[in-house]
Amino acid sequence: MDLSVVVITYQSRAHILECLRSLESALRMADGPPLVWECLVVDNDSSDGGPELVERDAPWARVLRTGGNLGYAKAVNRGLAATSGRYVLVSNPDCVWDAGSIATLAGWLDSHPRCGIAAPRIHNTDGTLEYSARAYPTPFAFLFNRYSLLSRLLPRNPWTRRYLLLDWDHESPREVDWVSGAAMLARREAVTKVGGMDEAFFMFNEDVDWCRRMNLAGWSVDYVPAARVVHHIGASEGTSDRVILERHRGMIHYFRKHHPAPAPLDALAAAFIMARARLLVAMNRRGR
């Protein structure tokens, strides 16, 4: 098997068929033999009829029901264990792939044996660039990340520029620290050596951690802008209180894992991050 596609769904009925229907042309190469591939939809206990829709309208895709909302990392690992391709595409259900894009990523892995993960250029639905290739987060990342108020107020500040790689045109391929888990092609050999995603992350930051572990094991993470995808960002996430809290818990776990600090400083940082989470939860509730 050349390639396995693993799509993680949760209440994704509105987008999943468009994603799946984009795969065939995205996997088609301009020349050479066609890729032999499989598709697995791993569903985290959706109640919107999405799994049944896939079984009815895209019967060539297998559906694996997890039986509960396991979170993104656990669902990805279920998909890795249930597939056999030498390359594994991990995709959100709200990603629509351009023609030839997945084949382009596979070709990149073929020609770059050190590459453990290759990722496409991601566009938002309005055509703007999603800054999906980034530098490792520093302790300031939760203040100056892609969604933060400070980044919106001061978009050219040095911390945001460094984190989102804003001084690079994003038009040329290059090695980066990490790429968004919404759309990435992983080499099975690298996954076998490094392991799957860290299941201590429920949602968010598991992609940063996975890429970092790839880098530490000697594999590169490469951004390949010739491959393109449109991401209906947020459609597979929502803005629930749980999403906000899990994003911040993921930050704490990531920094404890990769940047351990003395206990008093660790406790202070964790308290500050969760205070920010509670503020965002309050703002989210007010906006409903």
Cα 24 to the center of its chain, rounded Å: 21
115 bridge partner residues: 220
pLDDT tens readout for residues 155-166? 667 778 888 899
For 64-112, the pLDDT digits (tens) are 999 999 999 999 999 999 999 999 999 999 999 999 999 999 999 999 9
Q: In angstroms, rounded to a whole number, what is the distance separating the alpha carbons of residues 102 and 106? A: 6
Contact 135, 163 (CB under 8 A): yes
| Lowest-confidence segment of 29-38, 67-76, 112-121, 219-228 by average pLDDT | 29-38
Band (270; pLDDT cuts 50, 70, 90) = confident
Residue 230 and residue 95: Cα distance in Å, rounded?
6
As a CATH number, domain 3-131+170-236 is: 3.90.550.10
Q: Is 105 helix (H, G, I), strand (E, B) or coil?
A: helix
**Distance between CA atoms of 230 and 232, rounded to whole angstroms?**
7
**Which of helix, strand or coil describes residue 274?**
helix
- pTM of the predicted structure, to 2 decimals: 0.91
Q: Dihedral through CA 45, CA 50, CA 51, CA 56, nearest 10?
A: 170
Number of other CB atoms surrounding residue 255 within 10 Å: 21
Q: How far is CA 114 from the centre of its chain?
A: 21
Beta strand 87-91 with 3-9 is parallel
Higher pLDDT, 241 or 36: 36
In the chain, what are the domain boundaries?
Answer: 3-131+170-236, 239-288
